[in-house]
Structure 1
Amino acid sequence: MNTHEAHTDLPALIQAGTITIEVIDTATAQLDPNVRSRLDGLDTLTDSIREVGVQEPVRARRGDNGEVYVWDGQRRLLAAREAGVEKMLAVFGLRDHSGSEADRILDQLRTFTREDLNLVDRVKAVEQLTLEGVSVAKIARSTGQSKDDVNAAVKVAKSEVALRAIDTYQLTLDRALYAAEFGDDEDALCAIADADEEELEFIAQQLRDRRELDEYTEALIAKLQAEGKTIASSYNAGVQLWSLTDADVDAEDRPSLDAESHATCPGAIYYLRVWGTEDTGYRLDQLCSSPELHKPRIGTSVARPTAGPVDETDEEREARLDAEKDAQRRERRRVVKYNRMWRSATKLRLQWLSELVNRKKLPADANVFVAFTLTRFRYEAINSEHSSILGKLLGLEGYDERNQAATLVENNPAKAEHVNLAVALSGRENHTSEFSWRQPNKTDEAYLLTLESWGYHLTEVERIAAGYAEPNDDPAPVESSDDEDDEPVED
């Protein structure tokens, strides 16, 4: 008996006439609203019915005017029609299915297995239940799902992009939830679909950070344009001010153009580089698109190419210089790539650490980590200012996180181990930076390896900082360009 059949004494109910088994006309019987939109395997079922007939009665109810509605057995009814079967058996009275549509949807969600019902249908059914006023808790309880899955289904159902992506990319519910978040960004959808399970959350965070940066850049450009500045799309759109002067050709002093005074030049344009959403996360370089209005400086210091072999031919020299430029571009893109990855990974790492220190049961060797931090790595734990990280880990607000943490222990001494771990983690976390991967050190390596032993998944850039070998990617040749459209790379 299916779980939705609550009756336990069927013979008695049949004898009393509460439940009846009747012959119905397949041509006039109607289908109740059904959450299943696709009927896979209907041809096979039709062939089977042609050969042996309908082996199991459908479940039906009668409408106000006596119409027959099949609420369980949609495929059997349609296959019977296709097979030319005019009559079939139906069971009436198994529960009162003349009730609300929500009741019928709940029955169908309970009855259909996950193989019977595709994800799009299940998501839409959950949404319909919420529109009918059924609570998330009841849906979860009645259908055997978690509340988180029900809430996720409601969000996914509101996104046509996510619903299409489920079929296009064969997404699971958690990935469909990300698809709903990133909307019509086709590149983001492909990244979500292709991501390894353990990297999925990190990929999503990178996409969020990229979107936030793009939105910030657009707003910043609009602000600068409102101030009357012309924003160049390429660094090659103008000449750098240090190479131009307004001094006479025979003047002894030939200073470069000053940005403030050059701002009124008709050729004044600006190239914007953005790498962060804070006030210090961008740089605005002024260029001149009308260098003929000025004079070139004489004796300007220009970076000279490295010297080659004495007997180097012109062709060899050109090839060597091209290779040097290509290597420099590759290194720059490598640094920019991993810097961005580090910033995204840091956000997820802090979130994971916050969940860690708030667990009821801490890692078995948490006290060992604290002891090492207070001894071997005491500088990071004591001499650096990391109270803001401590506040994030413990969920504290304000400017006195350390005192709040102490008060937390005073009020609940059992929290002492959690606070000790949070203090140690905040000190070690504060020591990390983008240089943790660029210049790996034993302090951060030991820290990240400890987190990994506690179940944290190290991303590619964190693995480099933890002492693992860097992936030996073989990127495609870098196109020759002088554009500097990423953040400055400093040693």
Structure 2
Amino acid sequence: MSDTITPQPEASAAGVRLQFVDAREVMIDQNVRTNTKITKPFVNSIKRHGVIVPVLAHPAEDGRVYVEDGQRRILAAIDAERYEVPAFVIPEGDTETARIVRQLIANEHRAELDEVERVAAWKQLELDGMNVVAIARSVGETPKRVKAGIAVADNKTAAKEVAKYEVTFDQALAIAEFEDDPKAAERLRQTARSNPAQFEHTAQRLRDQRTDRQVVEELIATYTERGYQRIDWPRYDDKDTLPFSALTHADGTDLGVGYVGGNGYRYAVRDAWNGFEVGHFVTEWKKSGLKKRKANGTPNLPWTDEQKAERRTLIANNKAWESAEKVRREWLVTFLSRKRAPKDALTFIADAVIENRGSLSGALSERHRFAAELLGLSKPEWGEQNPLAAHIASHPARTATVLLAVAIAACEAATSKQTWRYPTGDAVAYFTALREWGYALSDVENIVLGIAPDADEQAEPTPQDDAADDAESAGEGGEGAPEPAEPEDANTDAEDAGGTEDEDEDDAESGIEASAPDAEECEVTVA
């Protein structure tokens, strides 16, 4: 059998007739297309306009026709209930091979309109007087897509994006917004390719960043015109250049926008993780008579008499605590050397274990080294028997005393100069037990139990004390007085002593709102 296709006689123009056929009555010939792909927009188009392009058919013996090319149009016409279909009917005379070849050629070489051609056609319809809704109905598209397509047709940059990168109309329009920003445009193209669901979010962030940048550029232009000096954003450890937020006037009032352009004023701009920031700073602020705020952010003002008295009490009680601690620990050594433990020892031990009083868990990790010290035993060493256990083994009658030493050592180790200032429930229970066991609490230790010392026992300030307080309050180092003792700010021995001139530095990198120098220009705010 030969594979050669025998050419068939061409039908003369007189042999081909154009007629309308009923889509319900025609017979569809065998076709190389098995997936007809009848889409809703296609059916809607035929419902509105009917079948425009005639199908190709051959006459059948019973008066009906066989459709060789156009089965999608026939099936869609039936769905759309537009049964009258134009058809070119040509005389039968082909072989099956010729039919297949024609069907392949007809389907293979059809090319759809590309998006640029499509939007150009929509634009022409608009120019001819059709509105977006009418165009959408006519071509079976949504009004939103048609509107975006016409906008693309009006924008050469967007049209190029559609043609070159195969992005959607909306994406092309967004990319066109950044025609003058190649990096932003490329970022949007990458998002459209790799993560289209995030495209709108990325585009909006880029718009916001551009807006911030424009605000900053306008601000820089204004400040440059007014002669303000721009600097690099100061380092966090720069003590000579501080932000407005870290400084006050000598009377403790905020610098505020009114200080823009004042002595030592500088501004800086940076591109931070959350957008552009404009910071207002003062360089060599001490020379301008400004004050640095305290570590807690409050103004650094001269001390009142009450604050001076509070500080003297703080220092005196801290010193008294150091002395009392030595006396108390010597008493504990004597107390634990007794032959018998006090009657309520087991209760104290049980509370300490159950409530984990003091630093009992920490003492365990150190093998109860402090307890061994209070009992006069050798220091515990890893890999060897604990001296406490060895002492119990050789002196079984002292088991309760050893356990009491463990509980006492845990409570004692948790005490410090902070204890009289901020007594905890554990500290109250511990000092109450000591008093009941016969220990004479000093005045500062009584404070733990809520017993204040007699007023007449408080030391009167000397002229030297007053002079020292005044010097510190005046801030001879240039930064003003160290902060008076306050519960929330006192956590170290250095703070107990009243702090130093170089207290915790304020973070020079804190975000500052960018404000123009005049009240009417204070709308400028950059993240």
Specify the structure having the higher radius of gyration (Cα): 2
Higher relative contact order (CA 8 A, sep 6+): 2
TM-score, scaled to structure 2: 0.32
TM-score, scaled to structure 1: 0.34
